[in-house]
Amino acid sequence: MESGPTLFGETALTRRKQRTEAVAKHVFFAMALAMIIPLALIIGYLVVKAWPALSIDFLLDPPLRGMKAGGIWPALLGTIYLVIVSLAVAAPIGVLAAVYLNEYAKDNWFNRVINLAVINLAGVPSIVHALFGLGAFVLAAKFGKSIIAASLTLAVMTLPVIIASTREALAAVPRPFREACWNVGATRWQTIQSVVLPNSISGILTGIILQVSRAAGETAPIMFTGALFFKAVERGDLFAYSLTDQCMALSMHLYVISTQVPGVPEALPYATAVVLLGAVLLVNITAISLRIHMRARKKW
């Protein structure tokens, strides 16, 4: 005896929706693979080409024989200096600017102009930032071509990313959190300091991660303001540069040995690229792990 259709049985419409869902799932999975596979192939190709040159000595030795041998220590150290100094300038300014725009700023023409300036600054090409840094920091401020001039140029270039990501993180904190603090007599700044910022720190770190990655890989801004072709540095010397010195940098060094120095062994440019990529990935992984840990502590 056949049973009739049940009240909650699967219908043709339900099956059609399930098929659509399955197709969408596979399409999105294919799109993810389309991004991941080329990246894996590129990294694998770079590592294979760079493998003959990769070693601890390659990291700690200075370039030798006109950059046709030796390592990349001066360039690696210079990149670390540039990233740290630019981060020390851009991070606090960007976060405080975002706090003002999200928590204090009223909807008037002045603040709309500020928002427009931030958006436009994010779209300015890096070569324009380089010319601005040359005029503002090297010539007008009289820093000369130096680490401080190059770092300030990188800081200006990366500020929009930090401001935008921080504003989004602050806006994601539910408004009832703020209202609860105000209702018990807390000031606006006390609310921001004790509630808003701690609950948005993971999003703020996202912008800082992007700043570090971009600052480490830029060439044009530092080429005009602080990077140089070669500087003699002792093996493993951590204090070879001062803020008023010019420095080598990985991105600039990679450009030089790839295009300006004849007879460079094939593995050297690839090894330099792998180190630059690995440094960026290491910073990203560390910051992402910290962000995940902080996000797990949220109560909402």
pLDDT at 28: 93
Question: CB-based contacts of 142: which residues, under 8 Å, 6+ apart?
Answer: none
pLDDT in tens, 187-240: 888 888 888 888 888 888 877 887 787 788 888 899 999 888 888 888 878 888
Instruction: Compute the average pLDDT of residues 43-56.
Output: 91
Q: Mean pLDDT for the chain?
A: 86
Secondary structure tally for the chain: helices H, strands E: 12, 2
Pairing type for strands 63-64 and 69-70 reads antiparallel
Q: What tokens were used for 247?
A: 């420095």
The pLDDT score that the predictor gives to residue 148 is: 94
Residue 85: predicted pLDDT? 93
Strand-pairing partners, residue 63, are: 70
- 93 falls in which pLDDT band (50, 70, 90)? very high
Asked if residue 3 has pLDDT above 70, the reply is no
Total-model pTM: 0.85
Higher pLDDT, 256 or 9: 256
In this predicted structure, the answer to whether residue 2 has a pLDDT above a threshold of 70 is no
Dump pLDDT digits (tens) for 231-285.
888 887 888 898 999 999 998 999 888 888 888 888 999 999 999 988 888 877 8
Percent of the chain with pLDDT over 90: 30
* Separation of first and last alpha carbons in the chain: 53
Domains of the chain as residue ranges with CATH: 66-296 (1.10.3720.10)
Q: What is the model's pLDDT at position 111?
A: 83
Angle at alpha carbon of residue 269, lines to 268 and 274, rounded to 5°: 95
Quick one: pLDDT at residue 185?
83
Bridge partners, residue 64, by sequence: 69
Q: Which residue has the higher pLDDT, 215 or 88?
A: 88
